């Protein structure tokens, strides 16, 4: 289904109803695609854990300094940094 921004604004319940029934709705503005509304079953997976190992917690990473300029940690400490 395709809906213009005006249709979405004035007939929101009808458009959302179509999404609830499993339809994917393309929203357009001045003839160009600006959004896609999809039912939750078709939405991309959301992760319940951090997927970026280089985030703010980097300073707290469980890593011990080792010889030769390498960083060493035991497996349990390392896996803690990956949310496991």
Q: What is the mean pLDDT of the chain?
A: 78
Task: State which residues form the domain around 81.
Answer: 56-84
> What pTM, to 2 d.p., does this model score?
0.53
* pLDDT reported for residue 45: 75
Task: Look at residue 83 in the predicted model and tell me its pLDDT.
Answer: 63
Q: Is 51 exposed, middle or buried (0-12, 13-18, 19+ CB in 10 A)?
A: exposed
pLDDT of residue 40: 87
Rounded Cα gap, residues 63 and 54, in angstroms: 13
Q: Does 50 fall in a domain?
A: no
Whether residue 27 lies inside any domain: the answer is yes
Encoded tokens for 41:
């079953």
Output the domain CATH number for residue 14.
Answer: 3.40.1620
Query: Does any domain span residue 44?
Result: no
Asked if residue 30 belongs to a domain, the reply is: yes
- The answer to whether 50 and 21 are in contact (CB under 8 A) is no
The domain tally of the chain equals: 2
Structure tokens at 9: 């604004």
Residue 46 lies in a domain: no
Q: pLDDT confidence of 43, banded at 50, 70, 90?
A: confident
Helix, strand or coil, per DSSP, at residue 57: helix
- Average the pLDDT over each of 7-16, 21-30, 66-75 and give the range with the smallest value: 66-75
């Amino acid at each position: 289904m395709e809906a213009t921004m005006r249709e979405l604004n004035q007939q929101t319940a009808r458009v959302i109803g179509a999404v609830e029934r499993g339809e994917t709705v393309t929203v357009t503005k001045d003839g160009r695609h600006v959004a896609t509304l999809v039912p939750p079953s078709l939405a991309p997976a959301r992760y319940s854990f951090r997927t970026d190992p280089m985030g703010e917690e980097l300073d707290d990473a469980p890593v011990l300094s080792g010889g030769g300029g390498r960083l060493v940690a035991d497996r349990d400490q390392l896996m803690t940094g990956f949310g496991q």
